[in-house]
Chain A
Amino acid sequence: MFSIITIAITGVLLLYLGFLKNRWIYISVAITGLITALALSVFSWNSLETSFSNMLIIDNYAIAFNSVMIFATILIFLLAPHYFKGIEKNVPEIYALLMFSLAGACMVTSFDNLTMLFIGIETMSIPLYILAGSKKFSIRSNEASFKYFIFSSLATAIFLLGITLVYGMVGSFHVGDISNYFTITKEIPSILKVGIVLLVISFGFKIAAVPFHFWAPDVYEGSPTLITAFMATVVKIAGFAAFYKLLSTCFILVPDSWHHLILGLSVLSLIIGNLAAIKQKDVKRMLAYSSISHTGFMLFAILSFNSFSASSLLYYSFAYALSTIAAFGVLMVVKNHMSADGSVQAFEGLAKKNPILAIVMTISMLSMAGIPITAGFFAKYYIFVSAIQGGWLWIVIIGILAALVGVAYYLKLIIAMFAKTSETEKIVTSPLYITSLLVATVLILIAGVLPNLIISLI
């Protein structure tokens, strides 16, 4: 609870510090605030806390996901000063909005009441509509903002209708009451099932699962890359944590209703996400489709509820966040350097121009593809184990095939960096920027070697 308050107050503080017009003051305040929030979050481990008359429940599950999200945001903020170099206007506002969005994301993971879930999702999404369009004079950024707004508000409307139908049948917004209802009632009215389907659809929008993924490539491509990194990591993890918690606490006892939906979403995301990613020329679009295929993998955890699936989802989120931030971090400099061209050709010869960036990118791509000794390997391994324990062997086979297809397009980038050469000058970055990328890379390797550190948490 206090970590959410710290994040929100830091956001307000940043708005005022913007008037000082000194970018080092507000970036240091932002990072201090985030580190404080992370510490407050970690130190409340094992102390179950409910607040706002049982609207929020901060248990170990919520703390683990919140810590991952806050940590990812710290890495993104470390990238920010270099990304916004030369841009003076409205930068503190962008930082503040990122903070508010993070506060919403932390609320989403720790809801104990469906109205709180709704408020959290809105607090998370509304700043993002603005952030997606924060490159004010770029037409693609405006398109991204508008598209995200339309799709997201449609998803919100569907979500509200779903909550309404559930409330109409159960008579309570409270998570405990909803799960009690299913232990008492044997014959579930069809209108309640419609409500559950609507909730699943709206979450499908939020986490960009096929067939509700159409907004994702355009929005990811059009938004400023820093914001895309935030959207692809924090927002997606928050969506998954909430989705998992909603289905596992409220609707786990509903027989044979939403399992088929999740199965369909997962298989379609794996196939379409990977096949579409192969065809992409623009790296940002490719990462967007790869993020859709990762959605497919993460849905395995929701498909197979057992004692293992929550921790495998946490581990996957952590590995995915680190490799995505590293990949987008490298993309940001390459893109700025090569004058707004984010195609695979821009990466040619990166190993000569800046070996550190090339190594960071390689490790993050290997982690996304799931090659051993990176975190991505154990992420996929655990999520497959959890699915096999749940009795979904055939979907694991599809998952492995999809992962093999994925290797193709991740390797395309690595080959471009190492095997090809080009005639351009060196790429320079700031020390803070490199620190963030190296921290992410080292953590990918540490988490890949010692997966027990995270997998045994929850």
Chain B
Amino acid sequence: MICAKVYTPIDYLPIMIQSFVVLGFVVTTMIATHMLGPKRNTKQKLENFECGIEGMGNARSPFSVKYFVIAILFVLFDVEVIFLYPWAVNFKELGIQGFVGVVSFSALLLSGFGYLMLKGAFDWEK
């Protein structure tokens, strides 16, 4: 698995051109919109969260992290499917060894799920 070809810096020229194009596009568009667009600043427009309703209170008040917990758990268990898919595609080739591997992987994930249930992470009222 050893590549005999020696790469010289000139081989990376396309990558450099690509990065210049990307950077150039972003910078040009930003400067162009800044120069071309009309500017009519008012007090309401310059507010941090302008949405038509007047802002009130302090943003630094504590809030429930329930949503965050649910969201992160969703991502965690959703990602599991990514690992199951390639296994399902190669089911025949991987044989019994692949099956045992996936079952033990799922068992570990399920044990984490059970722990969360017992811990009350899905208890919305708590």
Contacts and interface: CB of A to CB of B under 8 A. Distances in A.
Interface of A: 12, 15-16, 19, 168-172, 174, 177, 180-181, 184, 189, 191
B1 A15 contact: no
Given A19-B118, A189-B6, A171 B1 contact: yes
B1 A177 contact: yes
Contact of A16 (B1, B3, B115): B115
B81 interface: no
Given A12-B111, A15-B115, A16-B115, A171 B3 contact: yes
Given A12-B108, A15-B115, A19-B118, A169 B1 contact: no
B2 interface: yes
A394 B7 CA distance: 40
A184 B1 CA distance: 13
A66 to B, nearest CB: 22
B87 to A, nearest CB: 16
- The range of chain B's interface size is 10 to 19
A180 B2 CA distance: 9
24 contacts: A12-B108, A12-B111, A12-B112, A15-B111, A15-B115, A16-B111, A16-B114, A16-B115, A16-B118, A19-B118, A168-B7, A169-B3, A169-B7, A170-B3, A171-B1, A171-B2, A171-B3, A172-B1, A174-B1, A177-B1, A180-B2, A181-B2, A184-B2, A189-B7
Nearest to A187: B6
A180 B4 CA distance: 12
Contacts of A177: 1-2
Nearest to B107: A12
B117 to A, nearest CB: 11
Contacts of B112: 12
B115 A170 contact: no
A48 B99 CA distance: 27
A420 to B, nearest CB: 46
Contacts of A168: 7
Nearest to B12: A191
Contacts of A180: 2
Contacts of B114: 16
Contacts of A189: 6-7
B21 to A, nearest CB: 22
Nearest to B9: A191
Interface in B85-120: 108, 111-112, 114-115, 118
B118 A170 contact: no
A184 B3 CA distance: 11
Nearest to A180: B2
Q: Which of A12, A174, A180 has the most CB of B within 10 A?
A: A12
A12 B115 CA distance: 9
Contacts of A184: 2
A198 to B, nearest CB: 17
A174 B118 CA distance: 42
B7 to A, nearest CB: 7
A181 B6 CA distance: 12
Interface in B1-43: 1-3, 6-7
A168 B112 CA distance: 37
A174 B2 CA distance: 11
A21 B100 CA distance: 33
A168 B15 CA distance: 14
A172 B7 CA distance: 15
Query: Which 7 pairs from chain A and chain B are nearest by CB?
Result: A171-B3, A172-B1, A15-B115, A12-B111, A177-B1, A181-B2, A19-B118
A16 B115 CA distance: 7
A170 B4 CA distance: 9
Q: Which of A15, A184, A189 has the most CB of B within 10 A?
A: A15
Contacts of A174: 1
Contacts of A169: 3, 7
B115 to A, nearest CB: 5
Nearest to A5: B104
Nearest to A184: B2
B3 to A, nearest CB: 4
Nearest to B118: A19
Nearest to B1: A172
Contacts of A191: 7
Contacts of B2: 170-172, 177, 180-181, 184
Contacts of B118: 16, 19
A184 B115 CA distance: 52
Given A15-B111, A171-B3, 16 more contacts: A12-B108, A12-B111, A16-B111, A16-B114, A16-B115, A16-B118, A170-B3, A171-B1, A172-B1, A172-B2, A177-B1, A177-B2, A180-B2, A189-B6, A189-B7, A191-B7
Contacts of B1: 171-172, 174, 177
A168 B3 CA distance: 9
A184 B4 CA distance: 10
A170 B3 CA distance: 6
A18 to B, nearest CB: 9
A168 B111 CA distance: 39
